Amino acid sequence: MNRRTFLARATSLWLATLATSCQRAGGERLSLAILANSLPSQVIRTFQQQQGSSVAITSYPSLLDLFKRLQTWQQQPQPETNQAGLRQLLGSQPQRLAQWATLGDFWLKAAIQQELIQPVTVEAIAAWEPAPDPWAQLVRRDSHGQPSEAGNLWGIPYRWSSLAILYDPARLTSQDQPLTRWVDLLRSDLQRRVILPDHPRLVLGIALKALGASANHPNPETVVGLQDMLQQLHQQVRAYDANHFLETLIIGDATAVVGWTDDIAPILHQHRSLNAVIPTEGTLLSADLWVQPATREAQPNTLLTEALAWANFCLGEDFANQLAIYGHGAAPRWLGQDLPAWPDALQRYSSLILSPETQRTSDFLLPVSPEAEAQYLDIWTALRSNDLPNDQR
């Protein structure tokens, strides 16, 4: 699942500029593997100015690509000292391991089980405070990747988002009746005019929230009304699209799309005629985490110092404010807060502010049992078997 919805993002020019400056600086530096365009350049510059250090950035188009990068790091052989010069001459030097890599929370279980990451030593991070739910439940896991209060800390949340509905009110038959709930997607004027994410847990999660159930239900086949809700929703869908759903709305081929708030915010800024809403029944949440790739070798102390400095910086107020101003992103500190507590840069998109009441009925997608996983997949497979050919939509 590659959020943001998992959208692919292009690498921007400032990343190349930063990489060049880091190469000129020489010496050891902080190394980050990030989702392309997920961090504003101002954030990196502020960190460099405060720390007097350089940052080496490698960007990837999706969270799936970042997960695969973690796998590759573990699969590539560790260079032996007497072969280092030969590898450099032959151009086969393995890609340098990043001190921190971005990982979507949905991938955390698999990363732990495959031993792709290592626990974070929280005692060494001065800015870390005991995280309340849902953050503690999200990032504290046992060795199998299951949520555990006594588990290790496997990641540091630095950005989160929620699913919302973005729509064009001019294309609604009843323009005086805005969309406010998930069940509003079943309205007759939205038949074959809705774009949903192409992912079983997200689509089933939307249906479950519409019915007042948890998106992590341990036995979804027993939820009364779920099959009927999914069939009705399926009749409204023009396409299940994880990559171009926003463009489909803008050009007029759809009336409503479901996407992540940090993708929707800049669209609202550019297209003032569009509306957005976080459904009142509760929604689905997703977070980007900093994780430490597993390594079989100790890193130099200077790198460890820079890595800790970066973790503390990302937990601070400067990072949170600049992420909001320049990146339309919400830091963990805003989750569960009333509107006045949010930064002005995000309050301009008040329809995308998750209220404390809605937050209490919203869910991160957590691991479920193998039996439940099989049920989700079976339900999804049966649903998609009824897809209509494009020329019949």
- The pLDDT tens digits of the residues spanning 326-381 come to 998 999 999 999 999 999 999 999 999 999 999 999 999 999 999 999 999 999 99
Give the phi and the psi of residue 13 in degrees, each rounded to 5.
Answer: -65, -35
CA angle 48, 51, 52 (to 5 degrees): 70
Same domain, 176 and 250: yes
Same domain, 350 and 308: no
Same domain, 190 and 70: no
Same domain, 238 and 365: yes
Same domain, 39 and 184: no
pLDDT tens digits, 226-284: 999 999 999 999 999 877 888 889 899 999 999 999 899 999 989 999 999 999 999 99
100 to each of 22, 95, 105, 154, 364, how far by Cα in Å? 17, 14, 15, 12, 22
- Which candidate, 309, 90, 104, places its Cα nearest to that of 202? 104
DSSP H or E stretch at residue 59: strand 55-60
Based on the structure, what is the number of domains in the chain? 2
Whether 4 maps to a domain, the answer reads no
Contacts of 197 (CB under 8 A, 6+ apart): 5, 6, 163, 203, 240, 241, 242, 245, 258, 259
Q: What's the confidence (pLDDT) of residue 78?
A: 53
Whether 5 maps to a domain, the answer reads no
Same domain, 72 and 89: yes
Q: What's the confidence (pLDDT) of residue 100?
A: 96
Identify the domain containing residue 172 by its residue range. 161-285+343-392
- Cα–Cα distance, 100 to 34 (Å, whole number): 8
Q: With contact defined as beta carbons under 8 Å apart, do 5 and 197 qualify? A: yes
Same domain, 144 and 269: no
Strand pairing class (140-141; 100-104): unpaired
Full-prediction pTM beyond 0.75?
yes
- Cα–Cα distance, 296 to 75 (Å, whole number): 12
Same domain, 144 and 276: no
Q: What's the mean per-residue pLDDT of the chain? A: 86
Same domain, 221 and 304: no
* CATH value at residue 191: 3.40.190.10
Q: With contact defined as beta carbons under 8 Å apart, do 42 and 322 qualify? A: yes
Q: Which residue has the tokens 């009746």?
A: 177
Same domain, 29 and 120: yes
Ramachandran class of 18: left when φ > 0, alpha when ψ lies in -120 to 50, beta otherwise = alpha
Q: Which two tokens stand for residue 199?
A: 């992912």
Whether 308 maps to a domain, the answer reads yes
Whether 2 maps to a domain, the answer reads no
Q: What's the confidence (pLDDT) of residue 300?
A: 66
Asked which of 318, 338, 358 is the last residue of a domain, the reply is 338
* Better-predicted residue by pLDDT, 53 or 80: 53
Peptide bond into 134 cis (omega under 30): yes
Same domain, 153 and 165: no
Same domain, 245 and 376: yes
Whether 227 maps to a domain, the answer reads yes
